[in-house]
Amino acid sequence: MAFTRDPGAFFGVLRNDRMLGPDLSQSEVNGLNAITTAAAGWPIAWTAYLLGTAYKETAHTMLPIAEYGGDAYFFRRYDMHGNNPPLAQRLGNTQPGDGARFKGRGYVQLTGRANYARASRELGHDFVARPDDAMIPLWAAKIARLGMAEGWFTSKRLGDYLPHGIGAFSQFSQARRIINGMDCAAEIAGYAATFQRALQAGGWA
């Protein structure tokens, strides 16, 4: 693992805290590589919080996931002619079928035509034409990095809550506002604190 000077120490902390099994799967390694590659140059607290968020949002697999549900569900939830037109409008879902086409994907559940268009502009890749590309680990990690740093999801940003050095549990907890209010805030803060210890042990630069 190129993102730390001592990968063994990094994984040792995660294993001791039972966050990863004794035998890492290739998918876990791929996910960790994608996220830490995207986070290169970031402060340790920011990187730890990104890892903790991904760990929670992907049900501990460290691989991007798609929002559960069928076309009818996404029509009701996100389409302009569904059950919540104001939400559809906020998401930029102006065309029939946008609800299903631009469902949540990735490490932070990128959702809505407007957000896919923003990711396309900022990353130079057409996610509007190819929304499933938001499931590719490295793209998903880049989306998460930019979105969390720039406040794409709730207008709150990592810099609003986390220092450029070591983060405290209370700061990690408040940082949940970047993604989804305070839902599961303490749980994710615990994961972030563990990843921070692992990054410290591994020599995150």
What one-character-per-residue DSSP string does 111-153 give?
-SHHHHHHHHHHHTS-TTT-GGGGGSHHHHHHHHHHHHHHTTT
In the predicted structure, residue 200 carries a pLDDT above the cut 90 = yes
**Interatomic CA distance for residues 55 and 141, integer angstroms:** 12
pLDDT of residue 129: 98
**Interatomic CA distance for residues 196 and 13, integer angstroms:** 10
| Residue from 22, 42, 18 nearest 199 by CA | 42
Mean pLDDT of the region 123-137 = 97
In the predicted structure, residue 7 carries a pLDDT above the cut 60 = yes
pLDDT of residue 93: 97
Q: What are 10-43's pLDDT values in tens digits?
A: 888 888 877 776 677 788 888 888 999 999 999 9
Work out the pLDDT band at 115, boundaries 50, 70, 90. Answer: very high
Q: What are 186-196's pLDDT values in tens digits?
A: 999 999 999 99
Cα angle vertex 47, ends 140, 194, to 5°?
Answer: 115
Q: Answer whether 204's CB lies under 8 Å from 167's CB.
A: no
Q: Answer whether 34's CB lies under 8 Å from 47's CB.
A: no
Mean pLDDT of the region 65-76 = 95
pLDDT of residue 4: 67
Q: What are 167-191's pLDDT values in tens digits?
A: 999 999 999 999 988 899 999 999 9
pLDDT of residue 21: 65
Which residues, other chains included, contact 121 with Cβ-Cβ below 8 Å and sequence gap of 6+? Answer: none
In the predicted structure, residue 5 carries a pLDDT above the cut 90 = no
Please, what is the average pLDDT of the chain? 92
